[in-house]
Structure 1
Amino acid sequence: MTEFAPDAGFRKNGKIKAALLRHRALSKEGISERLFGLLFSGLVYPQIWEDPDLDMQAMELTSSHRIVTIGSGGCNMLAYLSQSPASIDVVDLNAHHIALNHLKLAAFKNFPNHEDLVRFFASPHEPGNSALFDRYLSPALDGNTKQYWHGRRFGRRRITVFNRNIYETGLLGRFIGAAHLLARLHGVDLTRMASMRTVQEQRQFFDAEIAPLFDRPIVRWITSRKSSLFGLGIPPQQYDELAGMSESGSIAPVLRQRLEKLACHFPLSENYFAWQAFTRRYAPKGKGPLPTYLKPEHYSTIRGNVDHVTVNHASFTEFLARQPAASRDRYVLLDAQDWMTNDQLNALWTEITRTARTGARVIFRTAAEQSILEGRLAPALRSQWSYFEERSKQLTISDRSAIYGGFHVYGKAS
Structure 2
Amino acid sequence: MVVERLSKTWFNLVHGRNIVYNQCWEDPRLDRVALELTPQDRVVVITSAGCNALDYALAGAGHVHAVDMNSKQNHLLELKLAGVRHLDYDTFWKLFGNGCLPEWNSVYASQLRPHLPSDARRYWDRKGALFKEGRRKSFYFRCTSGTFAWFVNYYIDRVAKMRDAVNALLSAENVEQQKSLFEQYDLAKKLWRPMIKFAMRRDVTLSLLGVPRAQRKQIDEGYPGGILQFVVDRVEAVFTKIPLKDNYAWRVYLTGQYSPEACPEYLKPENFERLKGGVADHVTTHTNTVQGFLEQAEEPVSRLVLLDHMDWLSRDPAKRILTSEWQAILDKTTPNARVLWRSAGLDGTFINSVEVNVDGQKRKLADLLHYNHALATELHAKDRVHTYGSFCIADIHR
Q: Under a length normalisation based on structure 1, what TM-score does the superposition of the two structures give?
A: 0.85
Counterpart check, 1:120 vs 2:95: yes
Amino acid at match of 1:122: G
- Residue in structure 2 matching 1:134, options 109, 118, 128: 109
- For 1:310, the equivalent position in structure 2 comes to 284
Amino acid at match of 2:293: F
| Distance in structure 1 (CA, Å) of the matches to 2:92 and 2:192 | 42
Per-residue displacement from partner, 1:210-243 (whole Å, max 9, x unpaired)?
3114552222222232222222111101111222
Q: Is the 8 A contact 1:168 1:177 kept in 2?
A: yes
Q: Is the 8 A contact 2:238 2:244 kept in 1?
A: no
- For 1:5, the equivalent position in structure 2 comes to none
Q: 1:181 to 1:209 in 2, by over 3 A?
A: farther
- For 1:86, the equivalent position in structure 2 comes to 62
| Distance in structure 2 (CA, Å) of the matches to 1:171 and 1:84 | 31
Q: Map 1:23-172; keep pairs closer than 5 Å.
A: 27-41=2-16, 42-111=18-87, 113-151=88-126, 157-158=128-129, 160-161=131-132, 164-172=137-145
Q: Secondary structure of 2:20's partner?
A: coil
| Distance in structure 1 (CA, Å) of the matches to 2:193 and 2:181 | 17
| Distance in structure 1 (CA, Å) of the matches to 2:310 and 2:142 | 25
Per-residue displacement from partner, 1:62-91 (whole Å, max 9, x unpaired)?
001001111110001111111232221111
Amino acid at match of 1:51: D
Q: Is the 8 A contact 2:223 2:345 kept in 1?
A: no
Which runs of at least 4 in structure 1 moved beyond 4 Å after TM superposition?
none
Offset, 1:294: 1.2
| Distance in structure 2 (CA, Å) of the matches to 1:228 and 1:121 | 26
Per-residue displacement from partner, 1:142-176 (whole Å, max 9, x unpaired)?
22211111115xxxx44644884110111111112
- Residue in structure 1 matching 2:209, options 232, 249, 253: 232
| Distance in structure 2 (CA, Å) of the matches to 1:398 and 1:247 | 22
| Distance in structure 2 (CA, Å) of the matches to 1:219 and 1:140 | 43
Offset, 1:196: 3.4
Offset, 1:306: 1.9
Q: 1:52 to 1:274 in 2, by over 3 A?
A: same
| Distance in structure 2 (CA, Å) of the matches to 1:34 and 1:262 | 32
- Residue in structure 1 matching 2:258, options 236, 258, 282: 282
Q: 1:247 to 1:405 in 2, by over 3 A?
A: closer
- For 1:4, the equivalent position in structure 2 comes to none
| Distance in structure 2 (CA, Å) of the matches to 1:162 and 1:148 | 19
- For 1:270, the equivalent position in structure 2 comes to 246
Q: Is the 8 A contact 2:171 2:245 kept in 1?
A: no
Amino acid at match of 1:102: E
Offset, 1:126: 3.8
Counterpart check, 1:366 vs 2:343: yes
- Residue in structure 2 matching 1:176, options 123, 133, 149: 149
Computed over aligned residues only, the root mean square deviation of the Cα atoms, in angstroms, reads: 2.2
Amino acid at match of 2:113: S
Per-residue displacement from partner, 1:82-119 (whole Å, max 9, x unpaired)?
123222111111121121011111111222x3333222
Q: Is the 8 A contact 2:343 2:391 kept in 1?
A: yes
Q: 1:120 to 1:160 in 2, by over 3 A?
A: closer
| Distance in structure 1 (CA, Å) of the matches to 2:115 and 2:394 | 39
Q: Secondary structure of 2:353's partner?
A: coil
Q: Secondary structure of 1:358's partner?
A: strand
- For 2:295, the equivalent position in structure 1 comes to 321
Offset, 1:129: 3.9
Q: Secondary structure of 2:49's partner?
A: coil
Q: Is the 8 A contact 1:245 1:254 kept in 2?
A: no
% identical equivalent positions:
27
| Distance in structure 1 (CA, Å) of the matches to 2:187 and 2:300 | 48
- Residue in structure 1 matching 2:374, options 375, 390, 399: 390
Q: Is the 8 A contact 1:110 1:137 kept in 2?
A: yes
| Distance in structure 1 (CA, Å) of the matches to 2:48 and 2:24 | 6
Offset, 1:55: 1.3
- For 2:394, the equivalent position in structure 1 comes to 410
| Distance in structure 2 (CA, Å) of the matches to 1:162 and 1:80 | 31
Unaligned segments of structure 2, at least 5 residues:
356-361
Return 346-355 or 305-314, whichever deviates more: 305-314
Q: Is the 8 A contact 1:213 1:219 kept in 2?
A: no
- For 2:358, the equivalent position in structure 1 comes to none
Return 361-370 or 135-144, whichever deviates more: 135-144
Q: Secondary structure of 2:48's partner?
A: coil
Per-residue displacement from partner, 1:245-284 (whole Å, max 9, x unpaired)?
4444x4221111111222223333221112123222212x
Counterpart check, 1:210 vs 2:187: yes
- Residue in structure 2 matching 1:255, options 231, 248, 254: 231
Q: Secondary structure of 1:270's partner?
A: coil
